[in-house]
Chains A and B, each alone.
Chain A
Amino acid sequence: MRHLAEALNVSVMTPYRYFSDKDEILAAARVSGFDRFADALEAAHLAAEDCAGAARAVAEAYLRFAFENPAAYKLMFDLSQPNEAAYPDLARAGARARVTMGAYIKNLRDAGLLVGEPEIVAHVFWAAFHGLVVLKLADKIAPDVDFEHLWRELARTLTAGFAPLDIASETSEPNLSLFAA
Chain B
Amino acid sequence: MPKSLSQTEIDDFRTRVISVAERLFAEQGRDAVSMRQLAQALGVSVMTPYRYFKDKDDILAATRASGFDRFAEALETAYDSVNDPVQRARMVGDAYLKFAFENPSAYRLMFDLTQPNEENYPELARAGERARKTMSAYVECLLGAGQLVGEPEIIAHVCWAAIHGLVVLKLADKIAPHIAFDRLWQEMQRALNVGFGPQNRLTAAA
Complex Cα distance, B71 from A82, in Å, reads 30
Residues in A whose Cβ lies below 8 Å from that of B154: 145, 149-150, 153
Interface residues on A, range: 35 or more
Complex Cα distance, B174 from A98, in Å, reads 11
Interface status of B146 (Cβ within 8 A of chain A) = no
Query: Which residue from B157, B169, B193, B202 sits with its C-beta under 8 Å from A126?
Result: B169
Q: Which of A26-80 contact B (CB under 8 A)?
A: 77-80
Residues in A whose Cβ lies below 8 Å from that of B183: 120
- CB-CB nearest in chain B for A124: B188
User: Are the CB atoms of A140 and B111 closer together than 8 Å?
Assistant: yes
Q: How many residues of B contact A (CB 8 A)?
A: 43
B138 to chain A, nearest CB (A): 16
Interface status of B45 (Cβ within 8 A of chain A) = no
Most buried by A among B158, B163, B187: B158
B140 to chain A, nearest CB (A): 15
User: Are the CB atoms of A77 and B172 closer together than 8 Å?
Assistant: yes
Complex Cα distance, B100 from A127, in Å, reads 15
| Chain B residues proximal to chain A, CB less than 8 Å | 111-114, 132, 150, 153-154, 157-158, 160-169, 172-176, 179, 183-184, 187-188, 190-196, 199-200, 202-204, 206
| Chain A residues proximal to chain B, CB less than 8 Å | 77-80, 98, 116, 119-121, 123-124, 126-132, 134-135, 138-142, 144-145, 149-150, 153-154, 156-162, 168-172, 175-176, 180
Query: Can you list 13 contacts pairing A with B, beta carbon distance less than 8 Å?
Result: A80-B173, A127-B162, A127-B165, A131-B165, A131-B167, A135-B160, A138-B114, A139-B114, A142-B153, A145-B153, A157-B195, A160-B203, A161-B191
